[in-house]
Chain A
Amino acid sequence: GENVEQHPSTLSVQEGDSAVIKCTYSDSASNYFPWYKQELGKGPQLIIDIRSNVGEKKDQRIAVTLNKTAKHFSLHITETQPEDSAVYFCAASTYNQGGKLIFGQGTELSVKP
């Protein structure tokens, strides 16, 4: 089955700096790669996603890149703000086959003012 590895486990940046979180996946059949932000005591919130037919996607300060050959994808947050502080999870699935969504281990991002 699918295995998703996520690094780093913790990340501390200064406000205004960029943050990058990286994930690798094992199942070459995976075709959907979402990123979630989770605040304490709440369910995960989708912040951006990418499908396997696209190499990069951007939404304001957030971008995701996908390298299918290397089986890795990354989240890039620019101009970080204190409210970006949270736990971020990557995930992978074979969505159009009703596939299970498998999560990475999570990254605790701290943005210091």
Chain B
Amino acid sequence: GAVVSQHPSWVICKSGTSVKIECRSLDFQATTMFWYRQFPKQSLMLMATSNEGSKATYEQGVEKDKFLINHASLTLSTLTVTSAHPEDSSFYICSATGTGSSSNYGYTFGSGTRLTVV
């Protein structure tokens, strides 16, 4: 079945630095990628939606200059947290929909990235 590989699984960074999270679709073409953020004991909150080759669409309240999303190919999307601060510490999860013999009728999730900003 469809697989989305997300890296890194966890990262610790210093306040003020930037961190890049990658999601790769391994056996299908990810035409749309969704990025979520999840705080402890809370639900997954959609941050943005990106279609391959287009600019991402951000949800209300999400700073597009802080959370840079790139979806330049059908197999790779990245989320860069710029000038990270401790309040950005969270669990970030990507999800993809797409086409291809292995794609699901549904959303394929990555395994998540635990970001800790110190």
Residues of A participating in the B interface, judged by any CB pair closer than 8 Å: 32, 34, 36, 41-46, 49, 89, 93, 95, 98, 100-106
Question: With contacts defined as CB atoms under 8 Å apart, how many contacts are there between chain A and chain B in the complex?
Answer: 51
Shortest Cβ gap from B61 to chain A (Å): 13
Which residue from A32, A45, A49, A106 sits with its C-beta under 8 Å from B43? A106
Interface size on B, residues (CB 8 A): 24
Against A, the Cβ 8 Å flags (1 = close, 0 = not) of B41-60 are 01111100101000000000
The answer to whether A32 touches B93, judged by C-beta atoms less than 8 angstroms apart, is no
Shortest Cβ gap from B7 to chain A (Å): 12
11 pairs, CB–CB < 8 Å, chain A vs chain B: A34-B106, A43-B110, A44-B44, A44-B93, A45-B109, A95-B106, A100-B34, A101-B34, A105-B42, A105-B43, A106-B43
